[in-house]
Amino acid sequence: MKFLYIEPDQDIRDIYTMKLEADFSAEIFGVASETEALDLLGMTLDRPDFSLVLMDAAIASPAFPALYAYFNKTHQIPFFILHDGESLRQLAGMDNFLNDHAGNRALKKPTQPEVFRKTVLECLNIKNNNLNWIKNAERGYNKVKIQNFLKFNSLPCDAFIRLNDVKFVKLLHADDMYATEVIYKYIEKDVGHLYVHQEDYPVLANTGLQTLISLYDRKAEPQSVQQLNLESLESIHHAIHEIGLTKDAVELTTKTIVSSVSLARRVRSIADLLNKMKSSGSYIYDHSMKMSYICTAIAKHTEWGSDSTVFKLSLACTMHDMTLDDDDLARIESLTDPRLELFRPEQVEAFKNHPQEAAKLIKDSKEFPADVDFIVAQHHERPDGSGFPRGLMKLRIAPLSCVFILAHEFVNRIEEMGNVYNQENRDKVYQALSQEMYTMGNFKKPFAGLRRAFNLTPKGADGL
């Protein structure tokens, strides 16, 4: 199997080539431009038979339409396009990109390694309808980020390092003590993952959850607490998708919520807390944490400020996108968003259903308090009835759901303004929300709470 990879930056090309070679039994042909790619195709002898073409939309030149037509439309070879949103829209001849070939994919940057790998798999799986081109050695193993092993000093199972396509070597032995220096040594060598046998993974995952749970008993500075909270959200997310909402996952969820609410309650300025928050690299985790802080702040200035109610709101913040596994998909707000066209039908269906699926996840857990599921089920509703899944309007959306929805809008709009929670940005968002029915019906009291929490004033007014 052969991949054509078009990237003018030699360093970037080398990095992605290594990533691709590590995960796939493929030969990577790297070229600097579409012109070089077309020259390669013009060779009369030994012309490679490519299975996939990868390139960044930002480097496209006038030669791109010819290259795309040759591969995708003439020879039915899938394209994998990396983009920043605007660069994809500027590409010529891409109006029917997803329909031109069932394996075509577009992925927004920056992307996480696992999402990148998964997207390549999707391109090829549709074309080849089998998994023979995946590294055979990886079968029977679960990949685990090497940084996760810094949390332990011994493991309940063996851990392996992959040396090549077919060989795994045991690096850490079950129940043996090890020093973190061993892990750091391999991190410095750019080893990104270790591997455990698939049957051992649930045990290791629960051990990781238990380790994080134990860390909540120590005292720490706000930024350390935030980091622990974000690491916990990542572990909870992985647990939900890989081993389910286990007892340990529920306990870690509870510890995380209590910790984040406590932090939000004791700081002098929620805006400062948000501005100092370091990104985890994942929209889902960062967004959930910011939502928890803002819901706590709003509730504090309303009749819903009791510990039990704030816990429910924060639990809804933690769980609302946990059934999704794609950051770009989680960023979408409505069923009319044109970005949905970039996703496969099953992903779009998962997005449509995720409010109910996340709500069911909470309801089915007997460990969580009642009534949180309806907050999550309504989190994409909007006061004008344009939301989903039920198209509820301002008087039919539950008050606690209104707190959540208002915080959701506030976080997303600040993010569009550079993620800076200064007074100017906060006032601009407040002004916009005040003109969009967020001051009416069941949103009226949450909106007043938002104003008091952030000392907001609409332009040309003294408040509500």
The answer to whether the beta carbons of residues 207 and 155 sit under 8 Å apart is: yes
Confidence of residue 128 (pLDDT cuts 50, 70, 90): very low
Name the percent of the chain lying above pLDDT 70.
90
Dig out the tokens for 316 from the structure. 């809804």
- Give the single-character DSSP code of 72: I
Dig out the tokens for 144 from the structure. 């685990």
Between 287 and 117, the more confident residue is 287
- Is the pLDDT at 460 greater than 60? The verdict is no
- Is the pLDDT at 251 greater than 60? The verdict is yes
Between 152 and 376, the more confident residue is 376
pLDDT at 170: 94
Mean pLDDT of 324-335: 93
Dig out the tokens for 198 from the structure. 């698939």
Confidence of residue 129 (pLDDT cuts 50, 70, 90): very low
Residue with tokens 């596994």: 325
Compute the distance between CA of residue 57 and CA of residue 452 in angstroms, rounded to an integer.
44
pLDDT at 445: 97
Confidence of residue 186 (pLDDT cuts 50, 70, 90): very high
- Is the pLDDT at 437 greater than 70? The verdict is yes
* Nearest in space to 152 (alpha carbons), one of 237, 212, 219: 212
pLDDT at 139: 65
- Is the pLDDT at 131 greater than 60? The verdict is no
Buried b (16+ CB within 10 A) or exposed e, 80-90: bbbbeeebbee
Instruction: Write the CA distances from 228 to 114, 155, 204, 256, integer angstroms.
Output: 22, 20, 19, 8
- Is the pLDDT at 20 greater than 80? The verdict is no
- Is the pLDDT at 47 greater than 80? The verdict is no
Max mean pLDDT among 91-100, 190-199, 433-442 falls in 433-442
* Nearest in space to 456 (alpha carbons), one of 435, 432, 430, 438: 430
- Is the pLDDT at 350 greater than 80? The verdict is yes
- Is the pLDDT at 185 greater than 50? The verdict is yes
pLDDT at 451: 95
Confidence of residue 48 (pLDDT cuts 50, 70, 90): low
- Is the pLDDT at 464 greater than 70? The verdict is no
Q: Each residue of 79-104: pLDDT tens digit?
A: 888 887 778 778 877 778 888 888 88
Compute the distance between CA of residue 55 and CA of residue 16 in angstroms, rounded to an integer.
11
The answer to whether the beta carbons of residues 202 and 189 sit under 8 Å apart is: no
Burial (CB < 10 A; 0-12, 13-18, 19+), residue 43, is: exposed
* Nearest in space to 252 (alpha carbons), one of 308, 303, 319: 319
Dig out the tokens for 358 from the structure. 């996340």
Mean pLDDT of 43-67: 78
The answer to whether the beta carbons of residues 216 and 228 sit under 8 Å apart is: yes
| H/E run at residue 55 | strand 52-56
Mean pLDDT of 187-208: 90
- Is the pLDDT at 22 greater than 70? The verdict is no
Cross-sheet strand order for the sheet of 52-56: 27-31, 2-6, 52-56, 79-83, 105-108
pLDDT at 9: 78
Residue 357, CB-side half-sphere exposure with 13 Å CA sphere: 12
Dig out the tokens for 121 from the structure. 């798999």
- Is the pLDDT at 114 greater than 80? The verdict is no
Between 395 and 346, the more confident residue is 395
Percentage helix, strand, coil for the chain under 3-state DSSP, each rounded to 5: 55, 10, 35
- Is the pLDDT at 54 greater than 80? The verdict is yes
As a whole number, the mean pLDDT across the chain is: 87
Amino acid (one-letter) located at 314: S
Between 325 and 257, the more confident residue is 257
- Is the pLDDT at 41 greater than 90? The verdict is no
Confidence of residue 135 (pLDDT cuts 50, 70, 90): very low
The answer to whether the beta carbons of residues 151 and 205 sit under 8 Å apart is: no
**Cβ neighbours of residue 396 under 8 Å, at least 6 residues apart?**
none
What domains are defined for the chain?
A: 2-128 (3.40.50.2300), 137-198 (no CATH), 216-454 (1.10.3210.10)
The answer to whether the beta carbons of residues 63 and 69 sit under 8 Å apart is: no
